Amino acid sequence: MSEIQALLDELAALPRTGPAGPAEAEALVARLRSAAARWAEVLYEADGAARLHLPPRAEAALRLAFRRAEESYVELEIALRDCAENRDAVG
Write the CA distances from 43 to 7, 22, 75, 80, integer angstroms. 12, 31, 18, 23
What pLDDT is recorded for position 3? Answer: 82
Distance CA 41, CA 19 (A): 27
pTM metric for this prediction: 0.85
DSSP H/E element including 73: helix 56-90
Residues of the chain with pLDDT under 50: none
What pLDDT is recorded for position 39? Answer: 94
Task: Return phi, psi of residue 29, to 5°.
Answer: -60, -40
